[in-house]
Amino acid sequence: MSAETVLQRSDPPRAPLPVPPAIRPLQLRDRAPLHQLLTKDALFTREEVSVALELIDGALAEPGGEYRVLVAELDGALAGYVCYGPTPMTDGTWDLYWIVTHPQVRGNGVARALVGRMEGELRALGARMVRVETSRLDGYGAAHAFYERMSYPVCAVMPDFYRPGDDLVVMLKRL
């Protein structure tokens, strides 16, 4: 799923962290920890990890280009990241491709902080909207709930898009 966005959590959200995460642009030193994060708890298939790393590598190769990545740190340790980019052939539409948080901090506001920072940067660039594409499989229910809490309502469902029984869900937020 090339434009897969995943934040999975089965427990209810926890209280926000006492100190908010530091959000900063991607650096070359982040690549190995991001790879570890993507494989940490087997949420992603080998193909999904490969695609995520391809986008990270694209962001590293061309800062400010087609793919952009912000990382979150807590106490100097990588806590999560968000990958996004401009949607080709549109005026002010952006895609949120991936958001991943460390299992130990899920539900503590790291993803919220990453999306908030991304949206702030996009508003400053004159973005009009952000699109999220994800799967409708049961394992993505927490991701859907997160996006809905962040004011990304479902605007389209494409049945059997990824494979039979695996629908594409498109969520959209106007900035």
DSSP letter (8 states) at residue 4? B
pLDDT computed for residue 3 by the predictor: 38
The CATH class, in words, for 22-174 is alpha beta
Show the tokens assigned to 140. 């993505």
Q: pLDDT of 30-82, one tens digit each?
A: 999 999 999 988 888 899 999 999 999 999 999 999 999 999 999 999 999 99
pTM of the model: 0.88
- Domain spans in the chain, listed from the N-terminal domain onward: 22-174
Q: Are 67 and 91 in contact (CB under 8 A)?
A: no
Q: How many CB atoms lie within 10 A of CB 109?
A: 19
Q: Are 58 and 105 in contact (CB under 8 A)?
A: no
Instruction: Please state, in angstroms and rounded to a whole number, the distance separating the CA atoms of residues 128 and 6.
Output: 23
Helix (H) or strand (E) segment spanning residue 55: helix 46-61
pLDDT computed for residue 141 by the predictor: 87
Q: pLDDT of 130-154, one tens digit each?
A: 999 999 988 888 899 999 999 999 9
Question: Looking at the predicted structure, is the pLDDT value of residue 122 above 90?
Answer: yes
pLDDT computed for residue 41 by the predictor: 83
